[in-house]
Amino acid sequence: MVLLDSGADVSAIPKHMAELLNLNLNHAKEDAFGIGGKVPAIPTHMNVEINKNHEKYSFKIPVKVILGDYDFPPLIGREEFFDKFDITFKQNEKKIILKSINPQKY
Protein backbone atom coordinates (compact mmCIF):
# COMPACT_ATOMS: atom_id res chain seq x y z
CA MET A 1 0.00 0.00 0.00
CA VAL A 2 1.30 3.45 -0.94
CA LEU A 3 0.10 7.04 -0.89
CA LEU A 4 -0.36 8.63 -4.28
CA ASP A 5 0.87 12.19 -3.73
CA SER A 6 -0.02 14.61 -6.53
CA GLY A 7 1.84 17.35 -4.64
CA ALA A 8 5.16 15.48 -4.66
CA ASP A 9 7.57 15.81 -7.56
CA VAL A 10 9.31 12.53 -6.81
CA SER A 11 8.50 9.35 -4.90
CA ALA A 12 9.98 8.73 -1.45
CA ILE A 13 10.39 5.84 0.96
CA PRO A 14 12.06 5.48 4.36
CA LYS A 15 15.50 3.87 4.53
CA HIS A 16 14.34 0.80 6.45
CA MET A 17 11.89 -0.01 3.63
CA ALA A 18 14.55 0.52 0.94
CA GLU A 19 16.77 -1.95 2.75
CA LEU A 20 13.94 -4.52 2.88
CA LEU A 21 13.41 -4.05 -0.87
CA ASN A 22 17.17 -4.39 -1.45
CA LEU A 23 17.35 -1.11 -3.39
CA ASN A 24 20.68 0.18 -4.62
CA LEU A 25 21.82 2.76 -2.05
CA ASN A 26 25.29 3.27 -3.54
CA HIS A 27 24.57 6.76 -4.85
CA ALA A 28 25.73 10.12 -3.51
CA LYS A 29 23.59 11.68 -0.81
CA GLU A 30 21.56 14.75 -1.65
CA ASP A 31 18.90 16.85 0.00
CA ALA A 32 15.20 16.12 -0.41
CA PHE A 33 12.71 18.89 0.21
CA GLY A 34 9.14 18.48 1.37
CA ILE A 35 6.55 19.46 3.91
CA GLY A 36 8.99 18.59 6.71
CA GLY A 37 11.73 20.77 5.30
CA LYS A 38 15.11 19.51 4.10
CA VAL A 39 16.26 15.94 4.84
CA PRO A 40 19.20 13.86 3.60
CA ALA A 41 18.30 11.31 0.93
CA ILE A 42 19.77 8.91 -1.62
CA PRO A 43 18.32 8.91 -5.14
CA THR A 44 17.69 5.50 -6.70
CA HIS A 45 14.98 3.62 -8.61
CA MET A 46 12.41 1.05 -7.55
CA ASN A 47 10.08 -1.32 -9.35
CA VAL A 48 6.36 -0.64 -9.17
CA GLU A 49 3.76 -3.27 -9.98
CA ILE A 50 0.05 -2.60 -10.22
CA ASN A 51 -2.39 -5.51 -10.55
CA LYS A 52 -6.15 -5.41 -10.80
CA ASN A 53 -8.24 -8.15 -12.36
CA HIS A 54 -6.79 -8.78 -15.85
CA GLU A 55 -4.59 -5.66 -15.89
CA LYS A 56 -0.95 -5.66 -14.83
CA TYR A 57 1.58 -2.83 -15.09
CA SER A 58 5.21 -3.08 -14.11
CA PHE A 59 7.84 -0.33 -14.47
CA LYS A 60 10.65 1.52 -12.65
CA ILE A 61 10.32 4.95 -11.12
CA PRO A 62 12.86 7.26 -9.46
CA VAL A 63 12.65 7.34 -5.70
CA LYS A 64 14.41 9.19 -2.92
CA VAL A 65 15.33 7.08 0.07
CA ILE A 66 14.95 9.28 3.13
CA LEU A 67 17.78 8.71 5.58
CA GLY A 68 17.34 8.73 9.34
CA ASP A 69 14.67 7.33 11.61
CA TYR A 70 11.66 8.49 9.62
CA ASP A 71 8.64 6.23 9.48
CA PHE A 72 6.09 7.12 6.83
CA PRO A 73 4.18 5.20 4.17
CA PRO A 74 5.77 5.07 0.71
CA LEU A 75 4.85 8.13 -1.34
CA ILE A 76 4.37 7.89 -5.09
CA GLY A 77 5.04 11.28 -6.65
CA ARG A 78 4.44 12.60 -10.15
CA GLU A 79 7.80 11.92 -11.82
CA GLU A 80 7.54 8.97 -14.24
CA PHE A 81 4.32 7.69 -12.62
CA PHE A 82 1.74 10.33 -13.47
CA ASP A 83 2.94 10.27 -17.12
CA LYS A 84 1.75 6.68 -17.48
CA PHE A 85 -1.87 7.13 -16.36
CA ASP A 86 -4.88 9.37 -16.58
CA ILE A 87 -5.58 9.74 -12.86
CA THR A 88 -8.93 10.63 -11.33
CA PHE A 89 -9.22 11.41 -7.62
CA LYS A 90 -12.76 10.80 -6.33
CA GLN A 91 -12.46 12.37 -2.90
CA ASN A 92 -16.09 11.86 -1.87
CA GLU A 93 -15.82 8.13 -2.65
CA LYS A 94 -12.26 7.79 -1.26
CA LYS A 95 -11.24 6.29 -4.58
CA ILE A 96 -8.50 6.76 -7.17
CA ILE A 97 -8.95 5.63 -10.76
CA LEU A 98 -5.88 4.89 -12.88
CA LYS A 99 -6.36 4.52 -16.62
CA SER A 100 -3.25 3.54 -18.56
CA ILE A 101 -2.28 5.97 -21.31
CA ASN A 102 -0.34 3.34 -23.26
CA PRO A 103 -0.75 -0.17 -21.76
CA GLN A 104 1.44 -1.87 -24.40
CA LYS A 105 4.55 -0.12 -23.07
CA TYR A 106 4.53 -1.81 -19.67
* Domain range list for the chain: 3-105
Fold of the domain spanning 3-105: Cathepsin D, subunit A; domain 1 (2.40.70)
- Full pLDDT tens readout for the chain, 106 residues: 889 999 999 999 999 999 999 999 999 999 998 877 899 999 999 999 988 888 888 999 999 999 988 889 999 999 999 999 999 999 999 999 999 887 665 5
pTM of the model: 0.85
Please check whether residue 48 is in contact with residue 58, taking contact to mean a CB–CB distance below 8 angstroms. yes
pLDDT value, residue 85: 92
Q: With H, G, I as helix, E, B as strand and everything else as coil, classify residue 67.
A: coil
